């Protein structure tokens, strides 16, 4: 039986998701709901397979134990802490993210 990991969203990730939703919903409400569903589906997979995310190329993020999921044009940054997955940031892939984390 696989060990299940608890998934926790840090407030910064919640804020990121709200910002993304608010931005997209102005032009396309169905697309806003769709991207949140895609985020949720990808993140929920971490409870069974926490290491499916790629290790960032940035050395500092690597040393801090970050992994990331790529969902469309977005990057979801998380770390594994014991039996918990901490979702820390969700940013657009075109954005400079190193200083955000």
- Could you report the per-residue pLDDT of 55-66, keeping only the tens digit for each? 998 899 999 999
82: left (phi over 0), alpha (psi -120 to 50) or beta: left
Check: CATH 3.30.2310.20 for 6-100? yes
Residue 11 pLDDT exceeds 60: yes
Instruction: Give, in order, the Cα–Cα distances in Å from 72 to each of 42, 60, 75, 81.
Output: 11, 24, 8, 26
pTM of the shown model: 0.89
**What is the per-residue pLDDT for 93?**
81
Q: What is the mean pLDDT of residues 28-47?
A: 95
**What is the per-residue pLDDT for 2?**
65
Q: Which residue in 30, 44, 39 sits closest to 85, CA to CA?
A: 44
**What is the per-residue pLDDT for 95?**
65
> Which has more pLDDT, 53 or 98?
53
DSSP E strand stretches across 42-99: 66-71, 74-81, 84-92
């Amino acid at each position: 039986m696989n060990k299940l990991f608890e998934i926790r969203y840090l407030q910064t990730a919640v804020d990121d998701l709200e910002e993304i939703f608010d931005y997209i919903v102005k032009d396309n409400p169905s697309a806003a709901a769709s991207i949140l569903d895609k985020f949720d589906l990808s993140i929920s997979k971490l409870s069974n397979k926490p290491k499916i995310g790629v290790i960032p190329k940035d050395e500092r993020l690597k040393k801090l134990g970050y992994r990331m999921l790529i969902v469309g044009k977005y990057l979801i940054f998380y770390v594994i802490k014991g039996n918990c997955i901490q979702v820390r940031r969700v940013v657009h892939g075109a954005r400079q993210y190193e200083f955000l984390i």
